[in-house]
Amino acid sequence: MIVLYVLALISCACAQYTVRDPVFEMMSPQGLRISYTDTNGVNLVGLHFNIDTPLAGVAAGQYNIDIVDKSGGAFVYEDQGITVRPGQTIYYWILVVHNSGGFQKTEQSWTVPSPITTTQATTTRTTAATTTTAAPSGGISGGISGGISGGTSGGTTGGTTGGTTGGTTLTGGTTGGITGGITGGITGGITGGITGGLTGGTTFGIAANCKEYPCDAACDQTVAPCNGLIFEENWDKLDFDRWQHELTMSGGGNWEFQMYVNNRSNSYVRDNTLFIKPTLTSEKFGEAALSSETVDIWGMSPADYCTGNAFWGCSRTGTGTNYINPARSARLRTVNSFAFKYGKIEVEAKLPTGDWLWPAIWMLPKHNSYGQWPASGEIDLMESRGNKNARNSQGESIGVDSMGTTMHWGPYWPVNGYAKTHVTKTLSGETFGDRFHKWGLEWTENDLTFYLDDQEIMKVDPGPGGFWELGEFSQTQGAATHNPWQYSDSKLAPFDHEFYIILNLAVGGTNGFFSDQDTFASGKPWSNESPTAFKDFWMAKNQWYPTWNADVNNGEDAALQVKTIRVWKY
Ligand SMILES: *[C@@H]1O[C@H](CO)[C@@H](O)[C@H](O)[C@H]1NC(C)=O
């Protein structure tokens, strides 16, 4: 194991700690064993060594190891791949992270005795001056600054800068960077992780402990991911490893009017913002295609494959009555890259303005642990309608000045208790398209609390009977109805499993989200019962398309705009 790592020592002005000598032993038939006896409070023992080549100061060595696991009262490192012969010398320096900070001993060496013994060997100092150095005071002011850059061959050159601030900058090694450093203070924890490598870039050492949540005790609990921040999207770029485009014409199971495509006219990142913008299918294929051509998106490489074939999602043929989806838009999801359970999510977004636009920021279960929708749940942070001047039968606004937050759950489709976990909010004197707002959810093992601009808007705690009793399904669907959540030990089932994030902008649809009973300023150009809804919608284009403002502002008034997304794990 070859490990390259860099440590910066920062400490409070706490008690001194005296670093002892590690014990070197030959292993039988070959190998090297190094051990360091623990005293209370040691979190990590770092050893850097060369064989037969002196090592200056805190330079990286041929071997650089972190020992964080203690066994039998000692931090032990064994490597059967190391062959050392009698008379050879191991030059090393050692770092011990003790609860009051980091302490090191440099310019050390040990010469392999002759004859080879597999019993405990003697540690010999070849330099008279043994210094036990507590890192200077200064708290977190140091840390590791800079990164690793430089050449590869023959090892690395370490340079220490920092002195009183306790920071260390190392030049050497190959590719990779350093994230974090060591944070001092009472906890003496180790910050961040270190990525580096002697050849080809490899991740080793304490980096491995600090890159994933939950974190090792040695990691700094104030720095991501060990402060719980397990996901952050600032849209420096559109990261296709993180966000997968759905490619389908299936209309979300709601006969929505858009097809979802991967096209930079429909989804793009600019100014640290994701834009999902609708366009007309006629712009791409010509208007005649809507009623005459086949659009086939089965695809021929993984990046192209249709992601949803239900409801003729991968191939549709336009006819005089069945038009193909007249709008194009995008739906992005983290299903392959990120999902979480329990924690906090916050999303900042500005909603689209324009008739029949239906944006959503929501989550679906990564695994359908209780079966198909809605048995495994759905969490909608935000759904809205882009229409101005839209009202329901009670006269309440349901347009772009309002939005809804909903949880969907039920034993099987279409039985769904969502009405008990649904809230709408309406702004006065402004709309959700005027500026960015923040949607939040705090999700614990006990309840889910939803926020709009940091104000609580809904708290859902199903009580000890869980969502089964909250939904009163036995009463409404009959006592014989199967409870998909009965074997879960969580009252939150189905909301006790990992969910992933979805961002999309839909257009219209016949499922009733745009209800025939509601009142829309310009009238609703299709009936949800119409077998020719797609055509009816398209024929009324002159009525709704102008409201999308395609010619001003790069058409972005009609775009769902998403800024920072953060998820913290509890
Ligand atoms: C992307 O969408 C635009 C607008 O509809 C269209 O003009 C363009 O051809 C599309 N690009 C691709 C690669 O399909």
**Per residue in 456-485, pLDDT tens?**
999 999 999 999 999 999 999 999 999 999
* 108 and 237 part of one domain: no
Whose C-alpha lies nearest to ligand 1, atom 2?
265
540 with 398, same domain? yes
Q: Is 70 in the pocket of ligand 1 (CB under 6 A)?
A: no
**Nearest residue by C-alpha to atom 1 in ligand 1:** 263
Judge if 96 and 238 occupy the same domain. Answer: no
Query: Does residue 101 share a domain with residue 242?
Result: no
Given 64, 86, 112, the domain boundary residue is: 112
Give me the phi and psi of 505, to 5 degrees please.
Answer: -130, 110
Ligand 1 centroid, distance to 475 Cα (angstroms): 52
Q: Say if residue 290 is in the same domain as residue 425.
A: yes
155 is a domain residue: no
Residue 118 domain flag = no
Whole-angstrom Cα distance, residue 55 to residue 151?
Answer: 18
Atom of ligand 1 nearest to the CA of 279: 5
Q: How many residues does the chain have?
A: 570
Please indicate, yes or no, whether residues 410 and 273 belong to a single structural domain of this protein. Answer: yes
What's the half-sphere exposure (Cβ side, CA atoms, 13 Å) at 96? 26
Model confidence pLDDT, tens digit, residues 358-413: 999 999 999 999 999 999 999 999 999 999 999 999 999 999 999 999 999 999 99
12-53 confidence digits (pLDDT tens): 334 678 888 999 988 887 888 899 988 778 888 888 999 999
Considering the domain architecture, whether residues 277 and 413 belong to the same structural domain is answered as yes
Q: Of 112, 147, 181, which residue is a domain's last?
A: 112
Question: Which residue's CA lies nearest to atom 5 of ligand 1?
Answer: 284
Between the CA of residue 373 and those of 134, 345, 514, what are the distances in Å? 59, 22, 21
Q: What range defines the domain where residue 377 resides?
A: 232-568
How many distinct structural domains can be found in the chain?
2
Q: Which of 112, 127, 157 is the last residue of a domain?
A: 112
State if residue 283 touches ligand 1 by the CB under 6 angstroms criterion.
yes
Ligand 1 atom closest to residue 284's alpha carbon, by position in its atom list: 5
Please indicate, yes or no, whether residues 107 and 243 belong to a single structural domain of this protein.
no
CATH, residue 463:
2.60.120.200
Two tokens at 374?
């809605």
User: Which atom of ligand 1 sits closest to the CA of residue 328?
Assistant: 5
Is residue 530 lining ligand 1, measured as CB closer than 6 Å?
A: no
What is the reported pLDDT for 71?
Answer: 81
Band the pLDDT of 538: cuts 50, 70, 90. very high
More confident residue, 560 or 193: 560
Mean pLDDT value across residues 333-345: 97
Q: Is a pLDDT exceeding 50 seen at residue 138?
A: no
The DSSP string of 236-272 is SS--TTT-EEP-B-SGGGTT-SEEE---TTTEEEETT
Question: Ligand 1 mean position to 256 CA, how many Å?
Answer: 20
The whole-angstrom separation of Cα 400 and Cα 151 is: 57
Answer whether residue 401 is part of any domain. Answer: yes
Ligand 1 atom closest to the Cα of residue 280 is 5
Secondary structure tally for the chain: helices H, strands E: 6, 36
**Which token pair is 389?**
């001047």
Q: Is the pTM of this model over 0.85?
A: no
In this structure, the residue with its CA closest to atom 9 of ligand 1 is 284
State the pLDDT at residue 537: 98
- pLDDT interval class at 133 (50, 70, 90): very low
Q: Is 279 in the pocket of ligand 1 (CB under 6 A)?
A: yes
**Residue 286: CB atoms within 10 Å:** 11
Q: Report which of residues 553 and 64 the model is more confident about.
A: 553
Q: How far is the CA of 334 from the centre of ligand 1 (A)?
A: 24
Report the percentage of the chain scoring pLDDT > 90. Answer: 62
Are 92 and 239 in a shared domain?
Answer: no
Residue 81 alpha carbon to ligand 1 centre in Å: 57
User: Is 311 within a domain?
Assistant: yes
Q: Label residue 195 by pLDDT band (50, 70, 90).
A: very low
Domain assignment present for residue 211? The answer is no
Ligand 1 binding pocket includes 263 (Cβ within 6 Å): yes
In this structure, the number of other CB atoms found within 10 A of the CB of residue 448 comes to 20
Q: Which range among 84-98, 212-226, 437-451 shows the weakest confidence by mean pLDDT?
A: 212-226
- 166 part of a folded domain: no
* Ligand 1 centroid to residue 251 C-alpha, Å: 19
Is residue 419 a part of any domain in this protein? yes
Which of 263, 267, 548 has the most ligand 1 atoms within 8 A of CB, as the residue to mutate? 263
Residue 265 Cβ inside 6 Å of ligand 1? The answer reads yes
Task: For CA atoms 403, 392, 373, 306, give the dihedral sign.
Answer: negative
Is 284's C-beta closer than 6 angstroms to any atom of ligand 1? yes
Q: Whose CA is nearest to atom 7 of ligand 1?
A: 284
In a domain, 50, yes or no: yes
CATH number at residue 32: 2.60.40.2140
Distance (Å) from CA 328 to ligand 1 centroid: 10
Q: Is 200 exposed, middle or buried (0-12, 13-18, 19+ CB in 10 A)?
A: exposed
Q: How far is the CA of 557 from the centre of ligand 1 (A)?
A: 19
Q: Are residues 421 and 552 in the same domain?
A: yes
Claim to verify: residue 238 and residue 89 sit in the same structural domain: no
User: Measuring from atom 8 of ligand 1, which residue has the nearest CA?
Assistant: 284
